[in-house]
Structure 1
Amino acid sequence: MAGVSRCLKYSMFIFNFLFWVCGCIILGVSIWIRVNKDAQEALNINNSNMFVGADVLIAVGSIIMILGFLGCCGAIKESRCMLLLFFIGLLLILILQVTGGILGAVYKPQLEEGFNLVITEAANLLKENTENAKQVQESLQKFQLQGHCCGIVDGITDWGNNYNLVIDGKAVCECERKYQEENLCTYFQGRYVFKEPCKTVILNFLQTNMDIIMGIAFGMAVIEVLGLVFSMCLYCQIQRK
């Protein structure tokens, strides 16, 4: 039993050390993005709403670091308390993931309806001239240039009377000559604009990368289950001593 205990002990330590390192990397990068102006400019983060993703990563990195620390110390010190806290924390995360997946499958029609409602409201803001509308327009203009798309639902017509609006030195949806050769443009009101709506680009991206997303989710679940098994086996062996 001593050999098995030693094997479990160091396997648990290595597993959680890597877990802790991943948490440090996520936390460090997200804090760097949050506070570094150069990083924000490079990633086009210029809206307070866009910092939400960085804040979420800070929270995720912190949780991973704490769990990794508990697992490492619990294994090396053979602390039942730390191992139990690690087990409970990891189990709660796994339960939340499974619950989120089930709720996503059950409420998929409502989620799609909510997504379409948000998209429609955003499209309506393109026709307005309020301060809130201007923020949405500026953010969308950057996405349009990067995604080679125009508008949200119905292309250039989403912009209404603002179809000739100039943002950051370029007219909205402006399609340069090099993209005309790739058949990405259409002629509208005396100029070329991107013809594909941004909603289509977003949906195509999600569909294309769905296998990768599912693979990452499955991989995380496997790692979490392994962590639970290691911690419970080591906890039980420590308790027998």
Structure 2
Amino acid sequence: MCCSGFLKIMMFIFNGALFLAGAAILGVGIWATVDSSSMLGVLSHIDNAPPELAQLANVGYLLIAVGAILAIMGFLGCCGAITENKCMLLTFFIIVLLIFIAEVAGAIVVLVFKPLAEEALSGLNKNFVEAIKKEYGENNDFTSVLNNTMIQLDCCGYNNYTDFEGSPFQTSFNLFPETCCDEITPCNLKEAEKQKVRGCFNALVKLIEDNAVLLGGVALGIAALEIAAMVVSMVLYNSIGK
């Protein structure tokens, strides 16, 4: 009886954490979906973008789906443990197992197809620069999204200030965005060359590299939590009725 009570507490803790994680991911997904000024919104304005990267614009929907599934999992696990419902516990175990397998498969795919991702990114470079030269300063939506991205990442263009040469904005005002000169105005060619503000692609890569340890730790923590939840759910499942 004591062991069964301990397992119930463990299941409640595991699934409470899963439910909260699902709610958080769901919130981020909703924010990413409704916030058209986020960095992902830039991709929707780029012609001939690689299909793999163009799908990033829909990442908000993916986060909503993942968050909802985690929240349902947490609900099933908690209710199954409290009510000792074997059907709920078995459903919970199967869902967690499928997600764990999908995560492992996804990690393998990322490692195997890394060269293809690098090739897609190199293709995005040309398309992104072409979009800047064609639409920045003329397309209000694209201009607003890119401005917000550059402010958030403290960067200039995709590569650097040269991406804006020949754009409608640069042609009309003979100037560059203020972020290309560290907010120094007027941001003319001389100041842009002097400041040498990094491009947004390099800024994004640096951001990911700086947080790689944190992201890896979170991923390992989630995997460990899933394994522990599966073990506890199966032990509790087998102990019910004995």
Could you say which TM-score interval applies, normalised by the shorter chain? 0.7 to 0.9
Which residue type is aligned with residue 88 of structure 2?
M
Alignment match, 2:151: 145
Between Structure 1 and Structure 2, how many residues are aligned? 228
The residue aligned with 2:114 is 108
Is 2:218 the partner of 1:216?
yes
Q: Does 1:57 align with 2:59?
A: no
**Aligned Cα RMSD in Å?**
3.7
SS in 2 for 1:128: helix
Aligned equivalents of 1:198, 1:44: Cα separation in 2: 10
SS at match of 2:178: coil
TM-score with structure 2 length normalisation?
Answer: 0.77
Question: Can you give the 5+ residue segments of structure 1 that lack an aligned partner in the other structure?
Answer: none
Shift of 1:89: 0.5
* Structure-2 separation of matches of 1:206 and 1:45: 15
Paired with 1:41 and 1:126, the residues of 2 have a C-alpha distance of 18
Distance 2:168 2:138 in 1: 18
Shift of 1:200: 1.5
Deviation at 1:160, TM superposition (A): 2.9
1:1-241 equivalence runs, <5 A: 2-27=1-26, 30-31=29-30, 40=35, 52-129=58-135, 135-153=141-159, 155-162=160-167, 164-165=169-170, 172-175=176-179, 189-192=189-192, 195=196, 196-238=198-240, 241=242
The residue identity in structure 2 corresponding to 1:71 is G
1:106 counterpart letter in structure 2: V
**Percent of counterpart pairs with the same letter?**
33
Report how far residue 34 of structure 1 moved. 5.8
d(CA) in 2 for partners of 1:10, 1:134? 54
Structure with a larger share of its residues in strand: 1
How far 1:179 sits from its partner (Å)?
5.8
SS across alignment from 1:88 = helix
Alpha carbons of structure 1 residues 10 and 144: separation in structure 2 relative to 1, 3 Å: closer
Could you state the TM-score of these two structures normalised by the residue count of structure 1? Answer: 0.77
Moved more, 225-234 or 48-57: 48-57
Distance 2:192 2:236 in 1: 66
The AA in structure 2 aligned to 1:108 is: K
Query: How far apart are 1:127 and its partner, in Å?
Result: 1.5
For 2:90, give the aligned amino acid.
Answer: L
